[in-house]
Amino acid sequence: MCDDHGLAIPGNGSDLVGRVLTVQRVRELNSRSYFYEMLKDNPELTAIRPGVEDELLVGAIDHHIHAYPDFVPRSQDMLQIAVEASRARMRAIAFKDHWNITAGAAYLVQRQIDEMVLDGRLAHRVEVYGGLGLNLGINPEAVRVGLQYPNFACIWLPTFKSYGWARSAGMNPSEDEYVRLVDDAGNVLPAMRAVLEMAAEKGVAVALGHTDFEELLPLATMAASLGVRTVLDHPLLELNKLLIEEMEQLAALGTYVGTYCQPMIPSLYQPVADPMETVEVIRRIGAARCVSGSDFGQVLHLDAIDGMRVFVRALLGFGVPSEAIRTILCDNPAKLLGLD
């Protein structure tokens, strides 16, 4: 069967779109009655209003924001986001770069925020952090030097250059072109182990990047044995989608499950998604092992703090208790980044 553009459409409703989303579910999400069915099944939505999220943002932490300066344009720069986070009375933010170090820029943004608090332009001090992205390779010496920078809170493992991601995408990757973390026998490679050991020594978080379960399981196992705090980066995005049973297994090892604004808020970057998956993951995994982050900053998304506002409204509207939201939004990110 084909659509009006000649594209093949699976005829069986149980056929998959991506890793777990079925054709039948896509039809439900896109049906004429979905909006009304959603409201009927979630009557809390009718009580949601702008500002209902304000108190839950007090003390919140967004540990995964993309901001300018970066290798591509971003919707806001670091200072703009920090000012908005301060006005929302958030506790902390952390800026990610896929390729480079953001801790130095975070330090300078912190200096500016502190000056604005001191002279009265801002009423609340937000903490500003950065870290190091390892798309250029697992280089323990680069990590050792990076960890000496102020405001360093997280090491981000490879994303676009991840061997596990390329393998899961069916690309038959070359180790010359993509960064591998685990060998064929399931052993964490020596350079990766060295990075984990430094993270343990310095007490910084490790975000596990865009890779597959084949790499994630040995990484999370070793991290747990070394006492490293880890987080799954947006495991509900199709580009590194995990099954909920895989998330449960990694959470049992101590890894936080990233329940990020993406894909709770579908976008032009991933227009075909089921927002209800985020709610189900929180219920199945439990708020105690989930951690939020916007992952925003892309030019076709909401701005980061606005995205967090919509995200919190959605969680409330779909029945996630405010106590669970505070755990995911405030308590667990603080533990992940070692702020408590």
Task: Print the SS3 string covering 196-214.
Answer: HHHHHHHCCEEECCCCCHH
> Distance between CA 199 and CA 4 in Å, rounded?
53
pLDDT string in tens for the chain (340-residue length): 444 444 445 457 889 998 999 999 999 999 999 999 999 999 999 999 999 999 999 999 999 999 999 999 999 999 999 999 999 999 999 999 999 999 999 999 999 999 999 999 999 999 999 999 999 999 999 999 999 999 999 999 999 999 999 999 999 999 999 999 999 999 999 999 999 999 999 999 999 999 999 999 999 999 999 999 999 999 999 999 999 999 999 999 999 999 999 889 988 998 999 999 999 999 999 999 999 999 999 999 999 999 999 999 999 999 999 999 999 999 999 999 999 8
> Distance between CA 287 and CA 329 in Å, rounded?
10
Residue 142 backbone zone (phi > 0: left; psi -120 to 50: alpha; other: beta): alpha
AA identity, residue 340: D
pLDDT at 99: 97
Residue 124 backbone zone (phi > 0: left; psi -120 to 50: alpha; other: beta): beta
Cβ(308)–Cβ(62) below 8 Å:
yes
pTM: 0.94
> Distance between CA 13 and CA 21 in Å, rounded?
10
CATH class of the 56-337 domain in this structure = alpha beta
Beta strands in 162-303 (DSSP E): 205-207, 230-232, 256-258, 290-291
pLDDT at 48: 96
Contacts from 185-193 at CB under 8 Å and sequence distance 24+?
A: 186/214, 186/217, 186/218, 187/218, 188/218, 188/219, 188/222, 189/138, 191/138, 191/139, 191/140, 192/138, 192/219, 193/222
Cβ(297)–Cβ(71) below 8 Å:
no
